[in-house]
């Protein structure tokens, strides 16, 4: 991802959902991969869902150039199913 952009990180959760499931309570977290420390600056532009897609706008200008990050997106599909999707990315110029 480029340092100057807001990147729309999108997760397709179709394979996690059953017939009567729906996405609720989206909770994204971001941490520095090398240290595991959570990122506390304003990196999250506000998670949303539409259909089976979860979008988390990542504000890259609040992250560090050259650093690797791990994003985890947790959501509730129904009263007994909570899922987390995790990815790793780097910020470049």
Specify the pLDDT at position 86: 95
**What is the value of pTM for the model shown?**
0.88
CA proximity to 75, closest of 26, 29, 30, 28: 26
Specify the pLDDT at position 5: 82
Tens of pLDDT, residue by residue over 12-68, are: 999 989 889 999 999 999 999 999 999 999 999 999 999 999 999 999 889 998 899
Tens of pLDDT, residue by residue over 74-84, are: 999 999 999 99
> In the CATH hierarchy, which fold is given to the domain comprising 6-90?
Immunoglobulin-like (2.60.40)
DSSP 30-82: EEETTT-PBP-SS-B---EEETTEEEEEEEGGGS-TT-EEEEEEEEEEETTEE
Phi, psi of 81, rounded to the nearest 5 degrees: -130, 110
């Amino acid at each position: 991802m480029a340092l100057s952009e807001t990147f729309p990180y999108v997760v397709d959760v179709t394979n996690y959902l059953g017939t009567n499931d729906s996405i609720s309570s989206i909770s994204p977290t971001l941490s520095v991969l090398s240290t595991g420390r959570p990122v506390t600056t304003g990196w999250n532009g506000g998670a949303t869902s539409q259909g089976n897609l979860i979008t988390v706008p990542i504000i890259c200008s609040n992250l560090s150039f050259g650093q690797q990050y791990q994003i985890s997106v947790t959501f509730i599909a129904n009263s007994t199913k909570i899922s987390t999707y995790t990815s790793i990315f780097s910020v470049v110029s």
